[in-house]
Amino acid sequence: MQPTHAELARTIAAGHLPATAHIACHPGPLPVRHVTDARGRVLLLSPAGGSVAEALRPAPDTGDTALVLDIPDVPPVAGAPALGRVWVSGWATPLTGEEARRAALDYADTDAAADLLDVGTTQVIHRMDVAEVRHERHGVLIDVDLDEYAEATPDPLHVMEFDLIADLAGHHAAEMAAYVRRRLGPAARSGDEPRVVRLDRYGFVVRMGARLARLAFPRPVADRHDLAHLLHPVLCHRCVRHDRVA
């Protein structure tokens, strides 16, 4: 099993990757700080009076501003394949009062930035209602269904993916290589040492020289602790064999 386009879009757009905004009537893209809330709506945090807030200032007769958010994935390690690129289109509205307070709490669920305390004074928060989501990968552009996008959840391992891969490489490289060879059979028993280059809730991707292979977990994992529980028999394979011999 692999992540769906909706899940990949939610993962890439979650708020842990750099994004730029193409804002209507503004020349050129602007780097923005953003997260997505539980429904996938984009929340934008910016200094009041700054370039982003000024570009997002709505026309008097509309109340909102059209924009496209561009978020490319950044692979966690060298040799890892990218998850692609996501474009989220919609209309941003500046929030005030209770709406701004609730949006700041939603923002803090992903990024507990200190300047969220200044929303309403030196910081402004915009909510972007999503009209279109597109996911590009390997040169193929997919229109993501908005209901599927709203119902999907970001991958729970994505924000810690680098640390998890580094831990496997630093402490469990031999066990993982042996496991990959057992799973893939003769194709992985010669040549370059397998190494994990990507991890998600459904499995992991290993690189063997110029080749990539995906190995699925028996079930999706919920978090880091669940991953550790699932991988325990793999990482302790030698211990299990020793116990059986003993």
Supply the range of the domain harboring residue 192.
160-245
Tell me, yes or no, whether 130 and 237 share the same domain. Answer: no
Reported as a single tens digit per residue, the pLDDT across 61-90 is: 788 999 999 999 999 999 999 999 999 999
85 to 77, 190, 208: CA distances (angstroms) = 17, 34, 25
In terms of domains, do 217 and 100 share one? no
Q: Are residues 22 and 41 in the same domain?
A: yes
* Same structural domain, 148 and 234: no
CATH number of the domain that residue 45 is part of? 2.30.110.10
pLDDT reading at 17 higher than 70? yes
**CB-facing half-sphere around the CA of 201: CA atoms within 13 A:** 16
One domain, residues 88 and 40? yes
* Number of independent structural domains in the chain: 2
Do 104 and 120 lie in one domain? The reply is yes
**For residues 134 and 6, is the Cβ–Cβ distance under 8 A?**
no
Which of 97, 128, 152 marks a domain boundary? 152
Q: What pLDDT, on a 0 to 100 scale, did the predictor assign at position 81? A: 96
- Global pTM value: 0.91
Listed in order, strand segments (DSSP E) in 1-64 are: 19-23, 30-36, 42-47
Mark whether 29 and 146 lie in a shared domain.
yes
CATH number at residue 226: 3.20.180.10
* Same domain (yes/no): 80, 184: no
pLDDT value at residue 187:
65
Mean pLDDT of the chain: 91
Residue 40, Ramachandran bin (φ over 0: left; ψ between -120 and 50: alpha; else beta): left
Do 175 and 222 belong together in one domain?
Answer: yes
Taking a C-beta distance cutoff of 8 angstroms, is the pair 85, 174 a contact? Answer: no
Residue that finishes a domain, picked among 152, 168, 193: 152
One domain, residues 68 and 99:
yes
The mean pLDDT value for 208-219 works out to 91
Which domain-ending residue is among 126, 152, 178?
152
Residues 30, 92 share a domain: yes
